Amino acid sequence: MRPYEMSVRAAADAIRARRLSPVELADSVLERAEQVEPRLQAYVAVVAEHVRRAAREAENDIAAGRYRGPLHGIPMGLKDLIDVAGAPTSASSRVRAGHRAQADSTVAARLSAAGAVLVGKTHTHEFAYGLTTPQTGNAWDTGRIAGGSSGGSAVAVAAGTALFGLGTDTGGSIRVPAALNGVVGLKPTYGLVPRHGVTSLSWSLDHVGPITRTVEDAALVLTALAGHDPRDPASLTAPVTDYRPAADTDLTGLRVGVPRTYYFEHVDVEVEAAVRHAIDQLQALGARLVPVEIPMTRYIRATQWGLMVPEATAYHERTLRTVPELYQADVRVLLEAGELVSAGDYLRAQRARARMRQEWARMLREVDVIAAPAVPVTAVKAGQETVAWPDGTVEGVSDAYVRLSAPANITGVPALSVPVAQDAAGLPIGMQLLGRPLGENVLLRVGHAYQQTRPTATLAPSV
């Protein structure tokens, strides 16, 4: 196995045992980026000299006995909404041309303290306001979308140009690209990972989380990220824990909720079959399957848009009025639409969210996790605008992808996307696991147990 193909855990073990040096790992990742980046465009820029310098520093620290833990010397990509002191944070937008961060975001500072090595900033749909990341090609088929808005981070991890990445998730923007590129994506509980220094799309829906190749890797990264920061008003004061899952796969006694409604409606037949097979695997590991009814389904989309659209417009109010021509057309339309949302509509969306949180809490008292598709369809072709369903319904691509991910953003519950299969075209399919607030340990345990039943994941071909 070449170093860039390793999981974070495997690379960390090899580095600690002196079987692999951070410099060798960095060189392998940079060589891989040189090969595939011209086709994929996952990065805004790869900072090769910084990578080599940081890798040498990590190697020297480890040799001197200053080992910082499992992320020390591990190459990563950060979504281009995440501030790194002295580096551009462009949000993949002309609006931010020339902008450089004055200080590290909380998450960048924590990863730096853990010894991780930044390969570069990864592309996002402009200001995270979309689910395709049009600059970036899917790691399995470059003629298809990467998913968004954290498409660059997901593609980098899937292609081997980073061993892990960070994304943000407002309506599914970690889980959607993770599912479409065959990697793991974790949206933590709202407020568990601080957002200070991260460009906002919608402050009451935004989350920061890891994109990795394995569930165990996601747990390692989350352990470094989680913890209170008073500079983020939504940051939780919950105690920091070690999220690494146990090695055993026994799920005896665990209750897995299987939705009767919503999550299996308007879902591609191959996606449904693959996810139901994965759920059967959880049952084979000892879990008990419990049918559940998803509450308030008719209000999910209206609540998501009723919260996100006015909050995004409020964030962009000044630049939307001074330099509107610098926005991409699709983002500008959404920002202008936000000016038409009334205060009454926004307050009704807030009330609906409060009720939805109550109903989800009630449902989650009956089960430990919910298992469902992460996305209703695999990666569509670049430029495709709609998805046609067998009953004659036509759905916009963004609407289709956000439909199954938005509930976790509205309610703030943690959600994990895990690859489970590939369709007939060879495109990845993801299963989504949702849990109780601060229930990351359970989600990661279940996802890790499932992954032990599958052959070792391979990197995307990046053709």
Residues marked active site are found at 79, 149, 173
**Cβ-based burial of 456 (10 A; exposed 0-12, middle 13-18, buried ≥19):** exposed
Whether residue 437 contacts residue 414, with contact meaning beta carbons closer than 8 Å, is answered with yes
Whether residue 287 contacts residue 356, with contact meaning beta carbons closer than 8 Å, is answered with no
Which residues does residue 209 pair with via DSSP β-bridges, in sequence order? 167
- Residue found under tokens 């470059």: 142
Compute, in degrees rounded to 10, the torsion defined by CA atoms 46, 9, 198, 206. Answer: 130
Q: Can you tell me the distance from the alpha carbon of 329 to that of 319, in angstroms, rounded to the nearest whole number?
A: 14
Whether residue 431 contacts residue 425, with contact meaning beta carbons closer than 8 Å, is answered with no
Whether residue 370 contacts residue 348, with contact meaning beta carbons closer than 8 Å, is answered with no
Q: Can you tell me the distance from the alpha carbon of 184 to that of 164, in angstroms, rounded to the nearest whole number?
A: 10
Whether residue 448 contacts residue 369, with contact meaning beta carbons closer than 8 Å, is answered with no
Q: Can you tell me the distance from the alpha carbon of 8 to that of 19, in angstroms, rounded to the nearest whole number?
A: 14
Q: Can you tell me the distance from the alpha carbon of 292 to that of 62, in angstroms, rounded to the nearest whole number?
A: 50
Q: Can you tell me the distance from the alpha carbon of 24 to that of 335, in angstroms, rounded to the nearest whole number?
A: 45
Per-residue tokens: 313: 């417009």
Q: Can you tell me the distance from the alpha carbon of 449 to that of 369, in angstroms, rounded to the nearest whole number?
A: 13
Consecutive H or E run containing 106: helix 106-113
Which residues does residue 289 pair with via DSSP β-bridges, in sequence order? 256
Q: What is the DSSP letter of 99?
A: -
